[in-house]
Structure 1
Amino acid sequence: MRHLAMACLCLAAAACGGDFSNDDLEFLNALPRREDLAAKLPPSSEGRAGGGLTTRKAALVVKLGEASELASETDETGRNFNAGVDGLLTLLENIRNASPTTREPDRRVWGPFRDDKHRDFEVRFVMERQALRFDYRLEYRRRGEGDLDWWAFLTGHFESDAGIRKGTGAISLDVKRAREEAFETDLEALDRLDIVYQTKALPTRVEMVFTPAGGLVQATRYTYREAEGGVGEMKFQLPGTDLVAGGRLEDVELTSRWAPDGRGAGTLLVLDGDITGAKYTECWNALGRVTFLARSWDFFNPTEGNRSTCPDFSALDE
């Protein structure tokens, strides 16, 4: 993302200074902030031990009181999710600190300016308003080209619903188009990066999708939800994980939920592998230690520990 951030720093530096009108602020408030989209991980997640599911053989050979691999996997994935959010939103934060170059009744433009990281290109940021919907684009063209030659690297929209920054929106990076334009990025492994979100009602929802280049590998999808009381949920898939002793690796879907105090619960659904269709549930305390577990395939000892140690996550139930 560093090239995008540099481009918008260029826009911000060239357009800085001056006052914002109330109408300018209405445009700028349509741009999402980190706190709107980032996963709210508990403070205890930074210090918890464990290597995650992908670093351990037969990951579901777990005992009560041990470090939870599901908790560790949740913490790591949450931090990676937030890194992706930061990469996209850093450039929007830079735009928010700059005055528009052009003001029209329902349109604002920052630029065009020369991009110091891509000296053959010019860059501009465009926002347009129609009723309660705002559309925006980070656009490039080669120096000397005309108005019809602008192409969008980043696109986004926001439709307000219940006040400032409350509504629905999306942000997309078209890496494939940049590649076709011979525009260098540091995202060559991707064709697209998409974020879709709703902040108008609880539980809020943010979905991030990484589409690999070439279409040979399935897109990676992460979904984060947050409900009343600060409880959070992350859902994602882990392909090729060695969950149980056997001849095949498992493709699993992990749904993790956590409370602000660091306690949590995770459910693994096995999509493919030695135990396809199996379901595993685990709860952990604020230190990330297992307090309860349940294995759907174990008829003799299906549960261990005390289920009452699992937090109440009913606020996330739909």
Structure 2
Amino acid sequence: MRTLWPALLCLLAACGGNFSNEDLEYLNALPTREALASKLPGNGTSSGSGLAQRQDRLSVGDPSQLYQDTQKASTDFNNGLDGLLSLLENIRTVPPTTRELDRRTWGPYPDNNNPGNVVRFVMTRADEDFDYHLDFKPTAASEDAWWPFLEGSFKADAGIRKGEGDLHLFISDAVAKGINVGDLKGLKQLDVGYQNKTLPSRVQMIFSTPPTPPATTAPAVDYIYRELPGGFGEMHFLLTGTDWVPGGLKEDVEITSRWTPERGGVATFVIRAGDLAGASYKECWDAQNQLTFAKRSWELFGIGLASACPDISGFDN
């Protein structure tokens, strides 16, 4: 879900320059891709048929279906972050245009991607609380015409890079005003909340889409990612419209996947709607992402040995 802003601020001003120590405190309050991204081992383009299409009997050594679905969810999650954080990363390459007490401003600059508009980025500080917004306005319009495309905040805790924050990207507002949003077009809003002051760290991302008439509401896609030191991760997400069990209905399946850096992972799902609502399933995979254990709640016996599942109990604390 990468957008079309190619190093926006670098196109508008000379990259690099001198930063004061206080400038760096502002910049360190901005989230980074490294801090928020899902780090599923082997993450990349998913392959295979996945949960939504396979219903045949599984065997130990088969590719793990739930790993494949987790892989896709992790990729979609990280692509969403790319679309949201790419601009913030460019801001780190450009010194602020204006320095004021408890305020830094970048711009305004003409926006080469959206002729006839200017863009600015503003950060304010109150003690350890930072707020920021990316604003647009028509070039010839007055100062009261600025409107926010992105808003965010960060509350520092025990160090400038530790704390909790949130970001909001108002995509449908930008489209209505003629702003080119690239691959984000089709979404209404993208919201991210995160905290890294306690373990496990946590990131929640919500993709909101406009409703399709005659409906007046549309479902949101919600991901929750948690991380422990050493490469342990967890992804919680919802798959809708799958066909996991025979019957006349499609299933909505809530999945929680947990993984280790080198010993594979464990995933469970619960059918929230459709045939066999309330039924559950557990699947484990090894370092090669191959099935080691699987059991459906409506079956007496599973396949493989539960003892083959790696220990991911750190997320239970």
Q: TM-score range by the shorter chain?
A: over 0.9
| Residue 40 in structure 1 maps to residue 39 in structure 2 | yes
Q: Find the counterpart in structure 2 of residue 146 from structure 1.
A: 142
The answer to whether the Cα contact below 8 Å between 1:9 and 1:91 also exists between their aligned partners in 2 is: no
Residues 48 and 307 of structure 1, relative CA distance in 2, 3 Å threshold = farther
Secondary structure in structure 1 of the residue aligned to 2:314: helix
Higher RCO structure, 1 or 2 (CA under 8 Å, sep 6+): 1
The answer to whether the Cα contact below 8 Å between 2:8 and 2:90 also exists between their aligned partners in 1 is: no
* Aligned-pair CA distance for 1:19: 1.1
* Aligned-pair CA distance for 1:260: 0.4
Q: Find the counterpart in structure 1 of residue 49 from structure 2.
A: 51
Which amino acid in structure 1 is aligned with residue 256 of structure 2? T
Secondary structure in structure 2 of the residue aligned to 1:92: helix
Q: Find the counterpart in structure 2 of residue 278 from structure 1.
A: 279
1:124-180 deviations in whole A, cap 9, x for unaligned? 010000110111111000011121111000111111112132110111110122133
The answer to whether the Cα contact below 8 Å between 1:49 and 1:288 also exists between their aligned partners in 2 is: no
Which amino acid in structure 2 is aligned with residue 219 of structure 1? A
Residues 162 and 5 of structure 1, relative CA distance in 2, 3 Å threshold = farther
1:102-142 deviations in whole A, cap 9, x for unaligned? 00020000000100111110100100001101111110000
2:207 aligned to which of 207, 210, 213: 210
With structure 2 as the length reference, what TM-score do the two structures score?
A: 0.93
Q: Find the counterpart in structure 2 of residue 167 from structure 1.
A: 163
The answer to whether the Cα contact below 8 Å between 1:199 and 1:205 also exists between their aligned partners in 2 is: yes
The answer to whether the Cα contact below 8 Å between 2:46 and 2:72 also exists between their aligned partners in 1 is: no
1:169-196 deviations in whole A, cap 9, x for unaligned? 1111101221332333233311100111
Q: Find the counterpart in structure 2 of residue 312 from structure 1.
A: 311
Q: Find the counterpart in structure 2 of residue 256 from structure 1.
A: 257
| Residue 83 in structure 1 maps to residue 84 in structure 2 | no
Kindly indicate which of the two structures has a greater share of residues assigned to helix: 1
Alignment of 1:21-40 (within 5 A): 21-40=20-39
With structure 1 as the length reference, what TM-score do the two structures score?
A: 0.92
| Residue 135 in structure 1 maps to residue 135 in structure 2 | no
The answer to whether the Cα contact below 8 Å between 1:8 and 1:92 also exists between their aligned partners in 2 is: no
- Alpha-carbon distance in 2 for matches of 1:16, 1:47: 33
Which amino acid in structure 1 is aligned with residue 199 of structure 2? L
Residues 31 and 292 of structure 1, relative CA distance in 2, 3 Å threshold = same
Q: Find the counterpart in structure 2 of residue 294 from structure 1.
A: 295
Q: Percent same amino acid at aligned positions?
A: 46
Secondary structure in structure 1 of the residue aligned to 2:310: coil
The answer to whether the Cα contact below 8 Å between 1:15 and 1:100 also exists between their aligned partners in 2 is: no
Structure 1: give runs of 5+ residues left out of the alignment. Answer: none
Structure 2: give runs of 5+ residues left out of the alignment. Answer: none
* Aligned-pair CA distance for 1:49: 5.6
Residues 315 and 88 of structure 1, relative CA distance in 2, 3 Å threshold = same
Q: Find the counterpart in structure 2 of residue 245 from structure 1.
A: 246
- Alpha-carbon distance in 1 for matches of 2:48, 2:262: 18
